[in-house]
Chain A
């Protein structure tokens, strides 16, 4: 349904071009939930923003191809993109506190989106808003529809935002860290809601997050990004049971363990993400990677078998050795 090929996004700055997204290709199929994981600066948000054409910066240079239902989106004039935005592809953002216009009621804002894309009466739009608020689990939707954003709690606001995004039945919902600004119990509710959406509305979801726990909860497929490139990609099962890239190992290791003896120190990936202005030659993760060897001076391509790809030069044997070493290391440390 959505095919992104060789997407490159860079920004012209006074210090030179900054490659935020470096040759990224991925697919999203109907009704699937794709998790996109990475640190800040990994390019995960920018790549999805460019799908919607929401990058407003005049210094941005976007190349590649974004095909949605057979139609090339990159290069489409704003006039036409507007028909796609909100109607076919919807996006929700991180902070529900500031995502809604403070001076209009949530019912008005949902109705506005409905009315923009559908020729219906105001009353019908309002009805639809109430239906949507009910579907996302907001209590007393008939009165909630006339409330202002500041009158709702964070979790309720995010639900309202999700309701608004789904108002025109989009085939794809892009959720950019929807639960990061919420507390954990609310996070669980929102994730449950997102799964339910796939069932009830039939939309595919791209869930951007830096939290592996979130991904483990809801995603069908996962792609891990680092410094603007995809470093590993596969089904959730493959990724969690049999991760191949050292960065993914690092991410999984850094999750505090729920069982076993309490570690003295939490594990983290040593070093810092590279500045996008001064990317290392070859594999961007190289300098931080414990298993770096001389081949890593070249850029590894994303390759693999049976749907599980990785961008790493470690041979399967070397990987297996590193893996067992890692497991041993875990046991030894605890």
Chain B
């Protein structure tokens, strides 16, 4: 058991190192362009270029450069952006992380509860109008791009109907920290939560319904019925429990990816300064240190999420446990 954990940690580390090497090579070792000018940004003076070259040791062999970069990123944590001079990258990443975390966690609660309820109701009333309506709504939810839906929500809540009492409470775009202003924090995030959750709610509802219907054909459900159990109990205790495995796996991966920065479109649309927005800005400005940091941050979360999902999978499905 302990050996398995160590082995798993080793694998995770290997993946993350691999990603860091790949990113490094893409940005620093691609032949043709001068990495120094890319780091320094556009319109850099020759002195800056020279300073960058010396700093990053572009005259040194590649592996030394890599080592230096990793050191600045992880150990000394004094990697600074060259677009916003002197702005320390690593603390910046940790500063904006709570925004993304707030956005994603709230949306996750919404979409998990919503998705499970939709899936259960649709499976229980299989074939009825309610079932078909729910699946149709789910399909629409999945199909609406989040940036479009977000802008539409903004249009409705911020401009067109802002004065009507329904949406008067919606504050201007932006984020208020939970510790400073809990009420404001909540209000600024409600619309983004709903927007982000819609897509996933539709997806999870449809997936769960399919899984439940499939589980309903299994022999053990027939046995459960022969035992005299109520249909509700059969659905929730027997069918849902076995279908949960797929949902949890999906959730772990989605959540991990979103926290790592995949919610960037939502953040941009709603003006939330989260990891996604940071990544987006740094890509637009070609701010290599920041890109490096956000990529490592994202990959860390995806790797952690994968590992967590594997653990939960073992807990949920006894067939996988070894003795």
A residues engaging B (CB < 8 A)? 52, 54, 78, 82-87, 90-93, 95, 98-104, 112-113, 116-117, 148, 150, 161, 164-165
Q: In the assembled complex, which residues on chain B have CB atoms less than 8 Å from the CB atom of A116?
A: 227-229, 233
Does the CB pair B225–A85 fall under 8 Å? Answer: yes
Segment among B104-112, B275-283, B312-320 that sits at the interface with chain A: B312-320
Q: Which residues of B contact A83 (CB under 8 A)?
A: 228
Report chain B residues within 8 Å CB of A100.
Answer: 220, 223
A101 B222 Cβ-Cβ under 8 A: no
Contact in complex: A148, B226 (CB < 8 Å): no
| Minimum C-beta distance from B227 to chain A (A) | 4
Nearest CB of chain A from residue B88's CB, rounded to whole Å:
49
**Contact check: which of B229, B316, B319 meets A112 at CB < 8 Å?**
B229
Q: Count how many chain B residues have C-beta atoms less than 8 Å from C-beta atoms of the other chain.
A: 22
Instruction: Name the residue of chain B whose CB is nearest to the CB of A100.
Output: B220
**Pair A99/B219 contact, Cβ less than 8 Å:** yes
Q: Which residues of A contact B230 (CB under 8 A)?
A: 82
A91-B226 contact in complex given A98-B219, A98-B220, A101-B238, C-beta closer than 8 Å? yes
Check: B47 CB closer than 8 A to any chain A CB. Answer: no
Give the number of A-B contacts (CB < 8 Å): 73
> Complex Cα distance A47/B241, Å?
32
Q: Please, how many angstroms separate the alpha-carbon atoms of A300 and B284 in the complex?
A: 87
Q: Which residue of B lies closest to A86 (CB)?
A: B228
**Are B223 and A85 neighbours in the complex by a CB distance under 8 Å?**
no
Chain B residues with CB below 8 A from A78, complex form: 231
Query: Chain B, 228-266, contact with A by CB distance < 8 Å: what is the 0/1 string?
Result: 111101000110011000000000000000000000000
A232→B226 CA distance, assembly (Å): 29
Asked if residues A101 and B224 are in contact (CB atoms below 8 Å), the reply is yes
Q: Is the CB of A113 within 8 A of B242?
A: no
Question: What is the CB-to-nearest-CB distance from A284 to chain B, in angstroms, rounded to a whole number?
Answer: 28
Residue ranges of B at the interface with A (Cβ–Cβ < 8 Å): 218-220, 222-231, 233, 237-238, 241-242, 316-319
* Chain B min CB distance to A29 (Å): 22
CA of A84 to CA of B228 in the docked complex: distance in angstroms?
7
Chain A contacts for B238, CB-based, 8 A: 101
Q: Cα distance A117–B233 when bound, in Å?
A: 14
Q: Which residue of A lies closest to B127 (CB)?
A: A58
Inter-chain pairs besides A85-B225, A91-B226, A164-B227, 16 sampled, C-beta below 8 Å: A78-B231, A98-B218, A98-B219, A98-B220, A100-B223, A101-B220, A101-B223, A102-B318, A102-B319, A103-B316, A113-B227, A116-B229, A117-B228, A148-B318, A148-B319, A150-B318
Q: Which chain A residue has the least Cβ–Cβ distance from B219?
A: A98
A103 to B231, CA, bound (A): 18
Which B-chain residue is minimally distant from A82 (CB atoms)?
A: B228
Closest 8 CB pairs of A and B: A86-B228, A85-B228, A98-B219, A86-B227, A101-B220, A91-B226, A148-B318, A113-B227
**Bound complex: CA of A82 vs CA of B318, how far in Å?**
29
Q: How far is the CB of A34 from chain B (nearest CB, A)?
A: 18
